[in-house]
Amino acid sequence: MEKLKITGNGALYGDITVSGAKNAALPLMCAGLLTADTLRLHNVPMLADVKTTHKLLEGMGATVTTDGISSFDINGGSINNTCAPYELVRTMRASILVLGPTLARFGEAQVSLPGGCAIGARPVEQHLKGLEALGASITQEHGYVKATGKLKGARVVMDMVTVGGTENLLMAATLAEGTTILENCAVEPEVVDLAECLVKMGAKIQGIGTSTMTIEGVSELHGCEHSVVPDRIEAGTFLCAVAMTGGKVTLHHAAPHTMEAVLDKLREAGANLHTEADRITIEMTRRPKAVNLRTVPHPGFPTDMQAQFVALNAVAAGSSKVVETIFENRFMHVPELNRMGADISAEGNTAVINGVEKLSGATVMATDLRASASLIIAGLVAEGETIVEQIYHLDRGYEHIEKKLGGVGAKIERISE
C-alpha cells in the first residue's frame, strides 16, 4: 500500500504546469462512442480513472491508442459490445457517461450502476429520466441499467443541476431525431468543454455555457481533434498550498476564467494574485485570513475545493464557517485535520473552523479524492512528519502531485509499506 510522507518545509517557490481536467477528460473520452471516426484528445491527464475509461472503451470494442503522456486516439468504428460491466464501472462513477452516447448510436446500452468516492449520494435518476423523455425504454435489474430505443428530440427539464446528467443527455441528444431542449443544465467549464468538442464533431448545439441548451439532432458525427480544458481544481489546490505556506508560484497552462469564485476567496484570504489568459501567479507573504464560504453549483464556489479551503482556514487568522450544500457526507477530512491539531467542529452541512497558528504532523487517512488533497497541503505547513494513507483516492484525480509540489520546494515523497 502506497503512502505519502510530507515534512513541513516552509514557503514554496517556482513554476507548476497544470494538467488537463479529469472531469472534462472522462466525458470527452466517452464522446468517442458517438462516431465511427477517430476522436483525438490532447492534454489528457494520465490518472487512474482515465486508465479505467481506456479499458472500458476497449472492452466495448473501441480502438484506443495513447502516447502514454497526454494524448489519446479513440476510434468507435469497431464497437461490438454495448455493455459496460461492473468490474470496471464499480470504481468510477463517470462510467455512467457511456450510457447516453451508446444508446443514441446503437439503440441499446447496458451499464452497471456505478461506484466512486464515498462522499454522498449521487443518484443517476436524472440521467434515466431524461433518456426516457427522449424515448428510451429503461429497466434496472441485477445491478444494471438496460436502455433500448430510438431517441427522438424532446424538452427535458432536470429536477436538479447535475453535471453528469447534463453531459449524458447532451451526448445522447446529438444523435436523437429532431430537436431537444435541455433545461436546468449544469454550466461547469467541463460541460462547456464537452459541448465545444461535440460541435467540432458536427453536433448542432445552441446555448453552450447557459442553463438551457438546444440540440438539433444529426444522423452521424465525425472525428475531430480537441484539447482538454485545464484542471481548475488542481490549480486551486496548488494555490491553496501557497496561500498556506507562503511563497510565490506561477501556474502555467491554467484557465483563470474557469475559477473566479476560488480566486476571489484567495484574494479575500490575503493572497496577491496576477492572472493572464493561461497562467496564474500567487504570492503570499503573511498568514492567511479566515474566509467564510458556501458551496454551490458553478459559477459559485465548487464543492471540489471545499476540503482544501477547510485546510487553509485551519491555519488562518480568525474563525470561519464553511457550508456544504452539494454532498451530504463531505466533511470526512475534518477529524483527520483535527488529528493534526486543527480546531474544527462539523455538524450537518456546516463546519466551524477556529484558525490555529500551527499544525502538527500525524498519520492520517484519506477518505476521498479531495480530502486527500486537503491533508497533503495541511502536511506542508505542519511541524514534523505527516503520513497520508490510502492515497489511491488521490491517484484518481491528481497527476504526479508529489512531483509537482516537490518541484516548488515541498518535501514530499511516495513510499510503500
Going by C-alpha positions, the residue among 226, 94, 110, 106 that lies closest to residue 175 is: 106
Identified catalytic residue from 30, 117, 185, 197: 117
Is 159 part of any known ligand binding site?
A: no
| Cα(300)–Cα(192) distance, integer angstroms | 16
What tens-digit pLDDT sequence spans the chain (417 residues)?
A: 899 999 999 999 999 999 999 999 999 999 999 999 999 999 999 998 899 999 999 999 999 999 999 999 999 999 999 998 888 777 777 789 999 999 999 999 999 876 544 433 446 889 999 999 999 999 988 888 899 999 999 999 999 999 999 999 999 999 999 999 999 999 999 999 999 999 999 999 999 999 999 999 999 999 999 999 999 999 999 999 999 999 999 999 999 999 999 999 999 999 999 999 999 999 999 999 999 999 999 999 999 999 999 999 999 999 999 999 987 777 999 999 999 999 999 999 999 999 999 999 999 999 888 889 999 999 999 999 999 999 988 888 899 999 999 999 999 999 997
- Sorted by where each starts, the structural domains of the chain and their CATH numbers stand as 2-18+230-416 (3.65.10.10), 22-227 (3.65.10.10)
| Cα(155)–Cα(363) distance, integer angstroms | 52
Q: SS3 for 50-90, per residue? A: HHHHHHHHHHCCCEEEECCCCCEEEECCCCCCCEECHHHHC
Is 140 part of any known ligand binding site?
A: no
| Cα(343)–Cα(290) distance, integer angstroms | 13
- Give the helix ranges, DSSP H, for 184-259: 189-200, 232-245
Tell me what pLDDT residue 116 has. Answer: 44
Is 403 part of any known ligand binding site?
A: no
Report CA 34 to chain centroid distance, whole Å.
22
Enter the C-alpha cell of residue 4: 505519502
Is 205 part of any known ligand binding site?
A: no
Is 264 part of any known ligand binding site?
A: no
Going from the C-alpha of 58 to that of each of 51, 54, 76, the distances in angstroms are 11, 6, 9
Is 44 part of any known ligand binding site?
A: no
| Cα(128)–Cα(136) distance, integer angstroms | 9
Is 67 part of any known ligand binding site?
A: no
117 annotated active-site: yes
Instruction: Provide the residue count of the chain.
Output: 417
Is 347 part of any known ligand binding site?
A: no
Beta bridge partners of 42: 227
Is 105 part of any known ligand binding site?
A: no
Residue with cell 470504481: 91
